[in-house]
Amino acid sequence: MTYGAIYESQKTSEKLDEYFGIIYEKEIYQNGESEIQNFVTNINNLTVENKIDESEKYNMIADFVTSNFTEYFWETDFLNNKDYNFKSFSSFSHSYQYDPYGFVRAFPPSFYANDPAWIAYYKVGACGELASLFGNITNRTGTPVIPIVATFKNGGNHAWVELIMNNGERKYFDPTVYGEHSLFKKWPEGYWFGNTSDYRVFSAEMISGVYEIKTKDEVTWRYDLLQEKPERKIKGIDVVFCEISKKLNNTTKLFT
């Protein structure tokens, strides 16, 4: 890329950041945060009144997060919408992209990438946005959350969360899997929630590693079914970890 192209890219990014910053303050944050807060208040009231247990609480949150959500792979794979895609506002910047419905998704390095209020307002994205919004709300309802990402050998990744239960035990909750069960009946009952050792949405052969997003610590050891058998030798581990580190460095904030 030439210096002129780099300068134009930076200038375009700054203008888009400025524009969406104005929209965020005037409309996106107010509406998105209001929706989140109203829902959190309702959940907390139900919890205090003992009308729901912990499992029901998490499912209600997942219902809120996945309801009316436009998820990329749901559109292309389940709804067979082959024309669905995201387009950039400018060829010089890809931090903000819009879909055929007019919903806007923020990507790194945008400050609003995976911002809960943004997600609640636009309800568009993929597993990262679903995990971010679910985690933010669950945190607010009294359950500590750890954002998790798995990197794939083919270069992809998938995000979900771990919940810290009252007894200190960690359980996983995958809101994307919940949505695919609820909307498309893809997964059996309960696949989205359980002990980390029982997480089986993907096979060990597909996974390079599982990491806590904030600390970048590898936690594959907590996921028994995602670990390759000991007799398999891993070649070029330094190269692999270098690539994984780059991906984790590009992973946006999931929680505030």
Greatest extent of the chain over all pairs of C-alpha atoms, in Å: 62
**Strand 145-152 relative to strand 207-212, pairing:** antiparallel
Q: What is the pLDDT of residue 6?
A: 35
Region label for 193, one of left (φ > 0), alpha (ψ between -120 and 50) or beta (otherwise): beta
Is 187 part of any domain? yes
Q: What is the pLDDT of residue 229?
A: 72
Run means of pLDDT, 10 residues per run, the chain, 256 residues: 44 86 97 98 97 97 98 96 93 89 95 96 98 98 97 95 95 98 94 96 96 97 89 47 52 50
Is 256 part of any domain? no
Is 255 part of any domain? no
Is 254 part of any domain? no
Q: Are 226 and 220 in contact (CB under 8 A)?
A: yes
Is 243 part of any domain? yes
Q: What is the pLDDT of residue 10?
A: 60
Is 95 part of any domain? yes
Domains identified in the chain, total number: 1
Q: What is the pLDDT of residue 241?
A: 47
Is 215 part of any domain? yes
Q: pTM of the full predicted structure?
A: 0.86
Q: Which tokens sit at 69?
A: 């959500």
Q: What is the pLDDT of residue 146?
A: 97
- According to DSSP, residue 253 is labeled P
Q: What is the pLDDT of residue 247?
A: 52
Residues 6+ apart with CB under 8 A from 39: 61, 64, 137
List the domain range (segments joined by +) for residue 13.
Answer: 3-249
Q: What is the pLDDT of residue 93?
A: 79
